[in-house]
Chains A and B, each alone.
Chain A
Amino acid sequence: MTVIEESREALDLKKLALPPGLPVTRLEVEDYADADGEPALRVLAVIAESVVIEQVSGRDVVAMKSAIRESLWQRGITLFPYVFIAKQSELDEDEDEDADGG
């Protein structure tokens, strides 16, 4: 099993203990390298449209990212996960812009 396949299993939403204050609808993971070329993981956490991000507690953000890191560690994956947060509507906006050539 590749590291990415193993990571996807580690980041199964049904098994992760994520904070209820920051509902995640989808997690995507891919190979990544940071600015120094160090191998890492890039994780996209798609959050529910209903989330009012201004009202999300920083502790929930920390808890979500810590849960992701710890689940990877438990599988022996020590690559650093760079977690990016977005709503599906924000991702769709980018796609619309790309389609318009903007």
Chain B
Amino acid sequence: MHRDLLEQAEALATLDKGKPKQANLRRAVSSTYYALFHYLVDQSCQAILGTQHSRRGYRHALARAFAHGTMKDACGSFSGTQLPAAIAKSLPKDTKGRLGIPSEVQVIASAFKELQQKRHLADYDLSERFKRSEVLALVEQVEAVIAQFDGAQASDGRQFFLACLLTWKSLAGR
């Protein structure tokens, strides 16, 4: 799904020969966001339920429980320098006392937070004027963060991040 959405975004952003129509750029931004959204939901469902083909139906059922706002809040924390103290206190730290948030988590979380805001502008704020450079750079950025995430080794920090995408609202509220 996410690959098709990224292809769609690129096609929309390059559809017009001259100055691009705002409608095409806005739909491209939205498709780029949804590419990242569906990729992260799929990764999270696989982390929680496993990757077996026989569990595909369970993963699809669970995928409907993800909330955009919850994912944005989780990504806001994971993209920054620290997690809320109540959560961070029980997590393992390195020798310098830093949390082990892998870099691929930090960049994909940051991209998600950014894309959700831009999707909001694209869909609801007509005063925002999107540029073709901006939109194509977003598509490239999302392809890069997904490739980095796919290429990184499994880690506890990554698994925790993926679980938090579903559970952050109740976890951070405690």
List A residues at the B interface (Cβ < 8 Å). Answer: 34-36, 38, 47, 51, 53-54, 56-59, 61-62, 65-66, 69, 73, 78, 80, 82-87, 90-91, 93-94
With beta carbons under 8 angstroms apart, the residue of B69, B81, B141, B148 that contacts A61 is B141
- CB-nearest residue of chain A to B82: A78
B137 touches A85 (CB 8 A): yes
B131 touches A85 (CB 8 A): yes
A65 touches B133 (CB 8 A): no
A78 touches B144 (CB 8 A): no
Q: Which residues of B contact A87 (CB under 8 A)?
A: 131, 133
Question: With the chains together, A73 CA to B140 CA distance in Å?
Answer: 25
A57 touches B144 (CB 8 A): yes
Q: Which residues of B contact A82 (CB under 8 A)?
A: 114, 117-118
- CB-nearest residue of chain A to B19: A93
Total interface residues on B, CB under 8 Å, equals 36
A-B contact count (CB 8 A): 78
20 additional A-B residue pairs with CB within 8 Å, beyond A61-B141, A86-B134, A90-B132: A35-B117, A36-B69, A36-B72, A47-B133, A53-B133, A58-B139, A59-B144, A61-B140, A62-B111, A62-B144, A62-B145, A65-B110, A69-B110, A73-B81, A78-B81, A85-B131, A86-B131, A90-B131, A93-B19, A94-B129
- CB-nearest residue of chain A to B140: A58
In the A-B complex, the 5 residue pairs with the smallest Cβ-Cβ separation, listed nearest first, are A58-B144, A58-B140, A90-B131, A35-B120, A61-B141
Question: With the chains together, A86 CA to B132 CA distance in Å?
Answer: 8
A61 touches B79 (CB 8 A): no
Q: Which residues of A contact B81 (CB under 8 A)?
A: 73, 78
Shortest B112–chain A CB gap in Å is 12
Shortest A43–chain B CB gap in Å is 11
With A58-B143, A65-B141, A66-B107: A53-B114 Cβ-Cβ less than 8 Å = no
Question: With the chains together, A82 CA to B128 CA distance in Å?
Answer: 13
